[in-house]
Structure 1
Amino acid sequence: MKAASAMVRDASASLPKQQHAWKEVKALYRFLDEPDVTFAALMQPHWLQTHTEMQERPLILLIQDTTELDLTHRQKMSGLGQIGDKKGRGLLLQTVLAVVPESREVLGCAQQEPFVRVGAPRGETRAQRRKRPKETDVWTRMVTQVGSAAQRSCWIHVGDRGADFFDFFRTCHKSQVEFLVRATQERRIQQADEQIGYLLSESRARPWQAKRPFQLPASHGRKARQTELSLSFGPLTVLSPRNEPKALQEPINLWVVRVWEEDGLRPQGEEPLEWILLTSVPTHTLQQAWERASWYAHRWIVEDSHQCLKTGCRIEERQVQSAERLMRVLGLLSPMAVRLLQLRSLSRQEPERLAAEVIEPELLEVVAACSQQEASLMALGTFWTEVARLGGFLARRSDGSPGWKTLWKGWLHVQTLLEGVHLSLHLRL
C-alpha cells in the first residue's frame, strides 16, 4: 500500500523518484523479488471491487483486447518472448475492462493476464498442434475467470477479430454470458433452404436498412473524421468448423449486424470502415441493431487503457531485470491506468452539477483560485476543464472534451499545489 501510494502521486516517474528515499527503493525491490508476490495476488482486490460494482448494474460491457509490451530495448531483461514480426522481445497483456455502455463509465479491470508468447515447436504436426495449448486460449480463460453475471445483470463480452473462434462462443454460452465479436472468418452458415452459405459473403450481399452519421475517432495515425454508416442485420445459424469432433458440431443461432461506409465517403488512401458483428444478444429491431454497433464502438476504451499503461504509467520503461519483476510492477500500475480512464469519465458526467457537492473543499478552493472563479458557484464541468487547463488543455471550441493525458497532468499539478498549501499552513504554526 505504501509503495502504490507513492507511485500514484506521479505514475510516469521512475521507481526511485516515486519512492523518494533509497531505503524505500530497496524495500520495493525486495518486495518485487518475493515469489509469492504475484501479478494475480496484487490485482485481486481491484478485481473483487470491480466485480462487486458489476453485480449492481443491469448491463455491463466486458471489453477484451490484447496488447504488446515492447521491451526490445531492454537487452538484459530475462524471461521475455517474441512479439510483432518475431524480431521484437516483450510480453503480451490481455485485459478485460468493465464499462457501463450508457455513460461510458469505466468500473475497473474485471480480469487481466500478462503472458509470454511461446513459439510453435519445429516439425510440429497438425494433430500435435491441435492438442497443445494455443495463444488464443487466453480469450476463453478470461471469460471463465470473470464468471457468470448475477440474475439481475447482463454481461456482454466484446471482442475484436481475435475473439472470432468457436471455443470463445461456446465458453461464453457455458458461463451464461453474452458476446459481441467482430467477424473475420468466412464461416459456413445454414440458410433457410438448408443450403450452405458463407457468413461474410451473405452479410455483404444484404441491402442497407438504415443510415446514420458517425464520428470516427483518431487511431494509429488516422485523423478523427465525420462519416455516414449504413446498416443491415438479421438472424443466422453458424455451423461449427469441419475439423471439430462430432460431439462439438452443434450449430449456434446468432445475429449478424453489419455497418459500413459506402464508396466515396472516406478520404483517399484510407480503408473503408466495415464491421461485421456476430452477437448472441437477440437483435430484432433497427434500434437494437444500432445499439449493438454502438457497443462495439466502445472497444476503443480498452485501447485507451493500454495507452494509459504505456504512456501514463510508462510500463515499458521500467528498469527491472526480469519479466517476473515487471509483471509484479504491472500489478501495482494497472489499477492506476484504470484510474486515468475513470478520471476522464468523471470529467464528462453531470457537467452542470455544482462541484461543491462532489469535490473536496480544499481541492475545489485551489482550482477556483488558479482560475480566479468563485468556488461555491463552479460547476463540475468547469472544474474539470480548469484542471485540464493546468495540464495544457487549451479549451478551444474545436478541442472537444479533455483527454486523460491533460487531465492527469493537471490533476498532478493540483495535488502539488494542495501539498504546498498544507506545507505553508504547517510552517505558519
Structure 2
Amino acid sequence: MRIVEDLASQPSSSVPQACGNMAATCAAYDFWSSPYFEPDDIRKAHVRSSIERIKSHEIVLAIQDTTNIDLTNHPSTTGVGYLDHQKLSGLKVDSTLASTIDGVPLGIIDQQVWTRPRENLGIAKKRRQRETQEKESQRWLDSLKTTQQLIPKENMVVTMGDSEADIFDLFSLKRPENSHLLIRGTHNRKVDHTAQYLHQAIRQTQPCGLLSVEIKRNPEQNPRIANLILRFATLEVCVPANHLARSQLKPVKLQVILAQEENPPDGVEAISWLLLTTIEICRFEQAARCVKWYTYRWLIERYHYTLKSGCGIEKLQLETGRRIEMALATYSIVAWRLLWITYQARLHPDESCDTVLEAHEWQSLSATINKHPIPPKNPPSLQQAVRMIASLGGFLGRKSDGEPGVKTIWRGLRRLHDIAATWKLTHSTFKANGCS
C-alpha cells in the first residue's frame, strides 16, 4: 500500500523520486524481487476492491485488450520474449478493465502477462493448424471465464473486445444468464441468410435510425461528433469450415449491428463498426445503446497509454521480466487511479474532492492556485480540484480546451505531491510551536 501511494502521488517520476528516500526505494525494489510474493498477489487485492465497486452497478462493461511492454531498449533484461516484430522484445499484457455504462473505470478485474519464446517464431506461422487453446487467442476465453466467476450473478456484465476477439469459440462458449458479449466483427462468416455471408446480409437490412456519438481524440484525429446510420439483424452464424473441432460445434445465433458514417469530414476516414452481440435487440434504442457502450472501448487504450506514458513502465531498468511484471502489477493500480480521478470528475463534478484528496492536499492545492495562504473551510468540488491539479500540469482551462486529460493531471499530481508535502511539514511545525 505504501509503494502504491508513493508511486500514485508522482506517477511520472522515477522510482527513487516517487519513494522519496533510499530506504523506501530499496523497499520497493526488494518487494519486486521477493520470492515470497507473486504478481497475482498484488492484483488480487485490487480485483477485490474492483468487485466491491462493481456491486453497486446493475450493468458493467468488461473491456478487454492486449498491449506490448516494449523493453527492446533494455537488452540486459532477461526473461522476455519477442513482440510483434522479431527484433522487438518485451512482455505481452492482456487487461480487462471494468467500467460503468457511463464510462467511469471501476478497476482491473483480470490481467494476463506472458512472453513469446524465440524458439516459437516458426510455429507462429502455422497458427491456423492449431486449436484455440494452443493459440494466444485463448486469452479471450480465459478472461471471459474469470470475469464470469468474479462478477456477482445480480450484475449484468458485457464483455467487449475489438476485432481480435472475433473468435467463433468465444461466441460458442457457454455463458450464464448475466454474461453477454459485444465484439467488433471482422470475419465475413457464413450465415443463414439469402445473401449467405455476414457482411452482405447486414448491408441488405434496412436502416433503423440515426445516432450521434462522440469520437474521442487519438494520435490520428481530433475529437468530433459522428452521425451513424444503424442497421441490425438477428443471424445464425455457421461454424467455420476450417475449424478443427467443427463436428463438435453448433451454429450460434447473434445480434448483428452495423453502424456506418456516410458523410465524414473531409480527410477523415468514415466510421464503419460491425458489432456482434448476444444482447437481445428488437428496436433502434437497444441497438443504439450497444453502439454507445462500444464507444467506451477506447478506455482500455487510455489505460494502457497511462500505464506506459504516464507511469513509464517501459522505462524501468529492472533486471528480469519477473521484476517488470511485479512492477507492472503495482503500476496497474496507479494507472487505474489516474483514469478514475479523470472520469469521475467529469461525470460527478459536484462530488466533494475529499473522496480523492487528503485534507493537506486539497488545502495546499487551493492555497497555491488561489495565491492565498488561508485555504477555504470546505473542500472544493471534485471537478474544481481536478482542474486545479491539471493547471499545475499545464492545463490552461480555456473554453475550447474542454475538461483536462490524463496527461495534464498526472503532471499536476507530481507537482501537488511536493506542494502538499511542504504544506504538511510547515503546518506541523507551526502547531508544534503553538502557532495557529
Q: TM-score, normalised by structure 1?
A: 0.90
Counterparts of 1:102-113 in structure 2, within 5 Å, are 102=102, 104-113=103-112
Q: Is the 8 A contact 1:172 1:178 kept in 2?
A: no
User: What is the aligned partner in structure 1 of residue 220 from structure 2?
Assistant: 221
What is the one-letter code of the residue matched to 2:211?
A: R
Q: Which amino acid aligns with 2:130?
A: R
Deviation at 1:106, TM superposition (A): 1.2
> Does the CA contact (< 8 Å) of 2:9 and 2:413 recur in 1?
no
CA contact (8 A) 2:11 2:414 kept: no
Distance 1:87 1:324 in 2: 21
1:410 is aligned to 2:412: yes
Q: How far did residue 375 of structure 1 move? A: 5.4
Give the one of 305, 314, 317 matched to 1:316. Answer: 314
> What does residue 291 of structure 1 align with?
289
Query: Could you report, residue by residue, the CA deviation over 1:189-214 in whole angstroms, capped at 9, with x for unpaired residues?
Result: 112xxx57111121223342212333
Taking the TM superposition and a 5 Å limit, the aligned residue runs for 1:336-351 are 336-351=334-349
- Alpha-carbon distance in 2 for matches of 1:89, 1:39: 20
Residues 419, 226 of structure 1: alpha-carbon distance in 2 compared, 3 angstrom cutoff: same
- Cα distance in 2 for partners of 1:125, 1:344 equals 43
How much has 1:71 moved relative to structure 2? 1.3
CA deviations 1:163-219 (Å, max 9, x no partner) are 10012123362685100000001111112xxx5711112122334221233332222
Q: Which runs of 5+ in 1 are unaligned?
A: none
| Residues 123, 209 of structure 1: alpha-carbon distance in 2 compared, 3 angstrom cutoff | closer
Instruction: Tell whether the 8 Å contact from 1:368 to 1:375 is kept in structure 2 after alignment.
Output: no
Structure 2 unaligned residues grouped into runs of 5+: none
- What are the residue-to-residue correspondences of 1:127-138 with 2, within 5 Å? 129-130=130-131, 133-138=134-139
Partner of 1:211: 210
Structure 1 residues 386 and 4: CA distance shift in structure 2, 3 A: closer
Cα contact 1:139–1:168 (8 A) shared by 2 = yes
1 CA distance for matches of 2:287 and 2:211?
Answer: 12
Deviation at residue 60 of structure 1 after TM alignment? 0.4
Q: Considering only aligned residues, what root-mean-square deviation do their CA atoms show, in Å?
A: 2.6
Q: Which amino acid aligns with 1:161?
A: S
Give the direction of change, closer, same or farther, for the CA distance of 1:172–1:319 in structure 2 (3 Å limit).
farther
CA deviation profile, 1:221-276 (whole Å, cap 9, x unmatched): 222233321111121111111234355321111101111111x42322x4321100
Tell me, yes or no, if structure 1 residue 65 matches structure 2 residue 86.
no
Partner of 1:387: 389
Correspondence 1:107-146 to 2 at 5 A? 107-118=106-117, 119-121=120-122, 129-130=130-131, 133-146=134-147
Tell me by how many angstroms 1:50 deviates: 1.0
1:287–1:312 distance in 2 versus 1, CA, 3 Å:
same
Which range moves more in the overlay, 198-207 or 92-101? Answer: 198-207
Letter in 1 for 2:306: C
Distance of 1:207 and 1:117 partners within structure 2: 46
Q: Which residue of 1 aligns with 2:248?
A: 248
Q: 1:120 to 1:137 in 2, by over 3 A?
A: farther
**Residues of 1 paired with 2:40 and 2:94: CA distance?**
13
Displacement after TM superposition at 1:151 (Å)? 3.1
Contact map agreement 2:303 2:339 (CA 8 A) in 1: yes
Give the superposition deviation at 1:376.
4.1
In the alignment, which residue of structure 1 is the partner of 2:38? 38
Matched to 1:320, the amino acid is L
Number of positions where the alignment pairs a residue of Structure 1 with one of Structure 2? 423
In 2: Cα distance, 1:131 partner to 1:374 partner: 59
Change in Cα spacing, 1:156 to 1:81, as seen in structure 2 (3 Å) is: same
Task: Work out whether residues 385 and 402 of structure 1, in 8 Å CA contact, stay in contact via their aligned partners in 2.
Answer: yes
Q: Name the SS of the counterpart of 1:369 in structure 2.
A: helix
Structure 1 residue 128: Cα displacement:
5.8
- Out of 334-343 and 234-243, give the one that drifted further: 234-243
Residue 306 of structure 1 is aligned with which of 293, 304, 307? 304
TM-score for the superposition, normalised by structure 2:
0.89
Identity %: 26
